[in-house]
Amino acid sequence: MRKTMSNPTILVVDDEEDLLELLKYDLTREGFKVVCASTGEQALVMARSEIPDLILLDLMLPGLDGLQVTRRLKEDSETRDIPIAMLTARGEEADIVTGLELGAEDYITKPFSKRVLAARLKTLLRRKRAEPADGEAPLTIRDLTIHPGRHEVLVKGARVQLTFTEFGILHFLARRPGWVFTRTQIVDAVRGEDYFVTDRAIDVQIVGLRKKLGMAAAYIETVRGVGYRFKE
C-alpha cells in the first residue's frame, strides 16, 4: 500500500556508500522514510516491494545504470507512476535529456545543497499529489486561466487566440509546473492539427506562444540544453 504523503518514502539509489549514508541521514531529518539501494538491480526489486512515493536515482551505476532502471520502472505498470528524480554530474546533458524522455520527472546535478535537494523533492511530491485527475479541469495560475473543454485561454480576463498546437503546448506544460520537458516529450504529447510538429518546430511554436501571451510569456522558461518548463 502506498504510504501517506505526511510520511513519504523515498528510495535512494547510489553506488557511493558514503553519499548514500549521507543522503539517508539528511533526508530522514527532513521527515522522509528512506530506503536505500546501491545497484540498479536492487533498485528494481525494492521499487516493486516498497512502492516508494519517490525515487532518487543516480544515473552512473555499475551494471544496470540509471537510464536502464528508469526505462524498466516506467514500463512496469506497478512502478510507472512513481516519480523519479535523477542525480547527475554536471555536463551530462545528453543523459538528462534521455532520462526525461524515458519518463523521469526531474533531475538534480551534483554537487548539491542538502536544503535545496530536500526542497526539490518535497516540491516534486506536492506536484504529484496535486496533479489533476481530469485533464479537462480548468487551470488558473496567477493571472492565466486555461479552459481545456472550451479551448480557451485568458490572461487577466482577456481572451488570447491560440492555434491548436500552441494551446496544446501551453496546457501540457501548465499542468505540471516546474517539470522540465524535452522537445521530444512535447512533440509526443501534442499532435498539432494545424501544424506539422517536429523537435525544431516546437521552438517556433514557443516563440509564437510567448508573443501571444504577452506579460504571461514569462511563465514559459527555456532550460538550456534540455527543453522547456512552466514556471512555478
Domains 9-130 and 139-230 share a fold: no
pLDDT in tens, 53-101: 999 999 999 899 999 999 999 888 889 889 999 998 866 778 888 888 8
Element (H, E) at 10: strand 9-13
The CATH number of the structural domain formed by 9-130 is: 3.40.50.2300
What's the confidence (pLDDT) of residue 53?
94
pTM of the model: 0.69
Q: Where are the domains of the chain?
A: 9-130, 139-230
Cis geometry, peptide bond prior to residue 8 (ω within 30 degrees of 0) = no
139-230 sits in which CATH class?
mainly alpha
pLDDT in tens, 128-161: 776 555 556 788 888 999 998 778 899 999 999 8
Q: Which residues does 158 contact at the CB level (< 8 Å), separation at least 6? A: none
Work out the burial of residue 206: count CB atoms within 10 Å of its CB; fewer than 13 is exposed, 13-18 middle, 19 or more buried: buried
In angstroms, the CA 181 to CA 178 distance is 10
Element (H, E) at 107: strand 106-110
Rg (CA), the chain: 19
Is residue 14 within 8 Å of 46, Cβ to Cβ?
A: no
Q: What is the mean pLDDT of residues 97-106?
A: 85
pLDDT in tens, 8-50: 999 999 999 999 999 999 999 999 999 999 999 999 999 999 9
